[in-house]
Amino acid sequence: MSAASLTLDRIDIKILDILQKDGRISNIKLAEAVNLSATAALARVQKLTNEGFILGFEAKLNPVLLDANFVVFVEILLDKTTPHVLEDFSEAVVEYPEIVACHMISGGFDFLVKIRCQNMEDFRRISGQTLWQLPGVKETRSYPVMEVIKDSSQFKLPQKVK
């Protein structure tokens, strides 16, 4: 049994599900949706935030209108995977806003990054001025995205509750 299912009840899970779909829902509408008073709903949201289940709220921006519609996934192989090199790389990669996601992976490469930028020319600049300047980079493989089918930060919540 997961840690989340040990501490969340069905109302908590419903609140999390509603908020991950609409982070701007009013507290009154949220309370109505979960059959609680506005005060009780707010207390639940505060508790879920304080316990780390809710990490924050942010707007989902339109990349087409903001010239960031070109997506490239890049596999990155480091020259060595010592703790010092991994730490240096990890600290450096978070400094670049063009890199919107970075995951340490197992397999043939060490990291998989997702880049959002304006176009291929912009990516070529980022590749040379950013990716190859990151500590320990030995090799990269780039995969420009032809079409985005699904791009969501929402995920399936646990169904088992106390």
For the chain, list the domains and their CATH numbers: 3-50 (1.10.10.10), 70-144 (3.30.70.920)
Q: Is the pLDDT of residue 101 over 60?
A: yes
Q: What is the mean pLDDT of residues 106-134?
A: 96
Sign of the CA dihedral running 142, 147, 149, 154 = positive
Query: Global pTM?
Result: 0.85
| pLDDT, position 160 | 65
Mean pLDDT computed over every residue of the chain: 93
CA distance 6 to 83: 34
Confidence of residue 3 (pLDDT cuts 50, 70, 90): low
Strands lying side by side in the sheet with 111-117: 99-104, 111-117, 70-78, 137-144
Q: Element (H or E) spanning 10, and its range?
A: helix 10-21
pLDDT tens for each residue of 131-152: 999 999 999 999 999 999 999 9
